[in-house]
Amino acid sequence: MASDGPKRQTSDWENETDEALVLSLRQGNKAALAILYDRYSRLVYSIAFRVLNNGPETEDLTQDIFLNLWQKQTYDPSRSSLSRFLSTVTRNRAIDRVRSRSNRRRILKGVAAPQTIPLETFSLPEANASLGERSERVRQALLTLPEKQRQLLWLAYYHGFTQSEIAGHTNIPLGTVKSRMRQGLLKLRGTLQDLAD
């Protein structure tokens, strides 16, 4: 998930796994932080903005999330993948910020909004022409996922909901939430096997 931002001395690292980059991060290598930022800054920024609805605050939280990853080693790889850690921690931190302002209106506007999102709100933007065939294949793979699986992946990765929150918001049993997310990811991986190898 590379951004459009400039790359600086990071070409050797771009194909490294998240695990390898986190390990390198722990050894103080800032190039690893740059690559992880390029991979996940859009995810963090988007989830934060949906809750905070405020550009400067979103930038501040995004910076905070990545500097904590760097300085405080907040991520424990034995617990979950980095993408899920970042999506849930970003949403939780954004909610904390809203709550700290004691602004009920913003809470209702920012936090409650995802509860009301119907299945139909899953939508893909225009295809990224520069990515061409690969982009189109991924989009098709997403669109051919069973809707009940796609919806839950959407809530998890687009909104940063935890599995328990998804269960609470959708009234789907937690075990079913987990199995649908698992099946959805495995189906995607199967469809996109050659791209993921």
Taking CB under 8 A as the criterion, which residues in 141-170 touch other proteins?
142, 153-154, 156-158, 162-163
Among 53, 54, 57, 84, indicate the residue that binds other proteins (CB under 8 A): 84
# chain residues binding other proteins, by CB under 8 A: 83
Torsion sign (Cα): 119, 62, 83, 34: positive
Among 53, 54, 92, 135, indicate the residue that binds other proteins (CB under 8 A): 135
Among 35, 51, 52, 62, indicate the residue that binds other proteins (CB under 8 A): 62
Contact 180, 152 (CB under 8 A): yes
State residue 10 phi and psi, 5-degree precision. -115, 5
> CA angle at residue 21 from 16 to 26, to 5 degrees?
160
Under the binding rule (CB under 8 A), the answer on residue 18 touching other proteins is yes
Under the binding rule (CB under 8 A), the answer on residue 118 touching other proteins is no
d(CA 70, CA 127): 33
Among 51, 52, 63, 93, indicate the residue that binds other proteins (CB under 8 A): 63
Q: Which is nearer to other proteins, 98 or 138 (CB)?
A: 138
d(CA 49, CA 165): 19
Under the binding rule (CB under 8 A), the answer on residue 185 touching other proteins is yes
